[in-house]
Amino acid sequence: MAIVGVVRAVSKSTKIGIRYILGTTNVKSPFISYHSSVRLKSSPTTVVSPDATVDTARKSNEETPPERDPLDLTFENTQAAYKSKKTWELVRGLLVLKLSSYPYLVENHEKLLGLAQRILGKRLFQLLMKLTFYGHFVAGKDAQDIKPTIECLGSFGVKSILDYSAEEDLSEEEAKEAEMASCISAADETKSKDPSRMKQFQVYEQFADRRKYNVTARTYFYLSEAQCERNVDTFLKCIDAVAGATKSTGLAAIKMTALGRPQVLIQLSEVIVNTRKYFKEVTGTQKNMIMSNVKPSYIEHKLDDMHVNTHQDEVVKWLQQMDYDKKGLMNIFSWSDLVDMNYVLSELFKVPSIKTGRMEPLIRALTDEEEEMFKNMMRRLHYIAQVAREKDVRVMIDAEQTYFQPAISRITMELMRKYNKEKAIIFNTYQCYLKEAYNNVVLDLELAKRQGIFFGAKLVRGAYMEQERLRAKQGGYEDPINPTYEATSDMYERTLNEIMHQIITRGDRKIAIMVATHNEDTVRFTVNKMKELGIKPDEKLVCFGQLYGMCDQISFPLGQSGYSVYKYVPYGPVQEVLPYLSRRARENSSLLSKLNKERYLLRTEIIRRIKSGQVFHTPKGNYTPV
């Protein structure tokens, strides 16, 4: 069914009418049709020529069979780690990591960079950055510029996840203003101070600038609908570049907060938590809905017991549209209808109140414009998913803060239901620093199994710990984060273990997982578990992910020994990726033991090359990524 929609993208300053033509079969040249219809300024990237990389790889494949090295799980084999690097790149890496180890430089780096720009001027400053931080952490200014890096990574068995990292450089005041305006509904007269509202879903001005508190992930602020369109444009270019550069093995990462007004994500997250409570109140069960074998008829019976008139038309309709199978309920509400834009939010999320017996909304009032903005967000997501499916590129939806995450995860599951019927196109992300991580994964695995779809997941520890903890303390609600680092690591291993066991016991090859971490113990744990369970590296059911410029001693030996491994490859012009570089410097400085090990490895390899006369080592790989 084709969905034809006209989006009235309304922002304070900009009004544009945008016509989408979305259709499950009508996406033959989606990239072009999107651009020509949207007519927005295109982002400053060009697309990697699809055939260049593939041809190079193919040519070298025909000449010599691909190499495979044994994997040294100490991750201390410097030759294996740095085969792909010239010696001056190792020296640059060492310099960058050394600079990141000085707390004074890290704390004052923004001021120092500003000073350097004023003294050196733009061109010399850019040169300085290319010789240091930019050169180490960023692959180039646009998709054309990064082509040699992607080819080089590929020839050493490492695939790429492209991430266009240019960011709006908003001041703290601007960020706060944008966040406060976009997280509170115009229909909310209490302006989020309503005491009946759950504390974690209230909006706190102190935390409005989400970039503060050591957040090491990219942050989007809602500026306008037009800006969201530009973000779609950027994600599509990434997908296109991935498709061209890596053929069917490519991945693109997206953040849902880049695609619409975040207020609805907060409100939907609150609805999800309230729905769980309502379910428990009505049924009296402590089990989660998906595991409870409860059918709509049981809910009807329980409501009768509570003297709710279940013969009212609205209640009859509500019971009929529940999402269930022979094992019982999967959802009280039809989220797929919502994501497919067949419902408006305020109509869908109503339940018969136990107190009044009347149908009452679980969601706070939204204006018509906000309803429309939610639909715009869903259209954008569908469009990205359709283009990705058409181009055989997988899309990873990043996990974000806990006040957005229940909605992000739920919407992602619905996208999986629609797009993961034949293979895993959409991947969800689970943060193991959350107390609920294991439970969330188990429930989603069960849901995916019952729906017969492919389950794709990225497992991370989590990037927003400091902010989450402070916010919970300030708001007076329970800290959602595990109490210690060890508890987070246990949660990671337990969750990963469960997923890998289900890969084996289910045997339908419908589960794919990315172990996204820089932690060597976690990688060792995964590799050993794969061996124990008989999951082969080239089955691509389990893959690994690290950031470009970090932990090469993990990524390259994995790739060179035939494991499926990805680097997140950021790209963008120097000036526009400075916020990204700030985060890398901050993250590095907080990982002192990792930093020390990497510096030791780099030094060892430089000395080894000097001693063995290999200073002019020319990287030449013949490894084919699996």
Ligand X SMILES: Cc1cc2nc3c(=O)[nH]c(=O)nc-3n(C[C@H](O)[C@H](O)[C@H](O)COP(=O)(O)OP(=O)(O)OC[C@H]3O[C@@H](n4cnc5c(N)ncnc54)[C@H](O)[C@@H]3O)c2cc1C
Residues at the contact surface with ligand X, assessed by CB under 6 A: 216-217, 398-399, 429, 431, 433, 460-465, 481-482, 484-485, 488, 516-519, 545-547, 568, 591
3-state helix, strand, coil in the chain (%, to 5): 55, 15, 35
In the bound state with ligand X, the residue whose beta carbon lies nearer, of 18 and 547, is: 547
Alpha-carbon torsion angle 474, 268, 480, 436, nearest 10: 170
Q: How far is the CB of 460 from ligand X (least distance, A)?
A: 3
193-202 — which CB contacts under 8 Å span 24+ positions?
A: 197/270, 197/364, 198/270, 198/273, 198/274, 198/477, 199/475, 199/476, 199/477, 200/402, 200/403, 200/471, 200/472, 200/475, 200/477, 200/480, 201/266, 201/267, 201/269, 201/270, 201/273, 201/403, 202/475
Q: How far is the CB of 618 from ligand X (least distance, A)?
A: 29
In the bound state with ligand X, the residue whose beta carbon lies nearer, of 517 and 561, is: 517
In the bound state with ligand X, the residue whose beta carbon lies nearer, of 375 and 518, is: 518
Q: How far is the CB of 465 from ligand X (least distance, A)?
A: 5
Q: How far is the CB of 522 from ligand X (least distance, A)?
A: 6
In the bound state with ligand X, the residue whose beta carbon lies nearer, of 234 and 488, is: 488
Which H or E element spans position 512? strand 511-516
- Quick one: how many helices (H) and strands (E) in the chain? 24, 14
Alpha-carbon torsion angle 12, 14, 16, 21, nearest 10: -70
Place of tokens 């590799």: 527
In the bound state with ligand X, the residue whose beta carbon lies nearer, of 369 and 498, is: 498
End-to-end CA distance of the chain: 36
Q: How far is the CB of 488 from ligand X (least distance, A)?
A: 4
Q: How far is the CB of 13 from ligand X (least distance, A)?
A: 31
In the bound state with ligand X, the residue whose beta carbon lies nearer, of 289 and 457, is: 457
**One-letter amino acid identity for 275?**
T
Q: How far is the CB of 99 from ligand X (least distance, A)?
A: 20
In the bound state with ligand X, the residue whose beta carbon lies nearer, of 461 and 584, is: 461
Q: What is residue 433's three-state secondary structure? A: coil
In the bound state with ligand X, the residue whose beta carbon lies nearer, of 45 and 401, is: 401
Cα–Cα distances (Å) from 513 to 113, 236, 243, 445, 460, in that order, read 39, 23, 20, 12, 11
In the bound state with ligand X, the residue whose beta carbon lies nearer, of 31 and 563, is: 563
Q: How far is the CB of 620 from ligand X (least distance, A)?
A: 27
d(CA 597, CA 237): 36
* Closest to 623 in 3D by CA, of 539, 558, 528: 558
Q: How far is the CB of 17 from ligand X (least distance, A)?
A: 33
d(CA 471, CA 574): 33
**Tokens in use for 359?**
């149908």
Q: How far is the CB of 503 from ligand X (least distance, A)?
A: 20
Question: With b meaning 16 or more CB within 10 Å and e meaning fewer, what string describes 490-528?
Answer: ebbbebbeebbebbeeeeeebbbbbbbbbbbebbebbbe
Q: How far is the CB of 345 from ligand X (least distance, A)?
A: 25
* Closest to 417 in 3D by CA, of 363, 454, 446, 443: 454
In the bound state with ligand X, the residue whose beta carbon lies nearer, of 363 and 399, is: 399
In the bound state with ligand X, the residue whose beta carbon lies nearer, of 412 and 488, is: 488
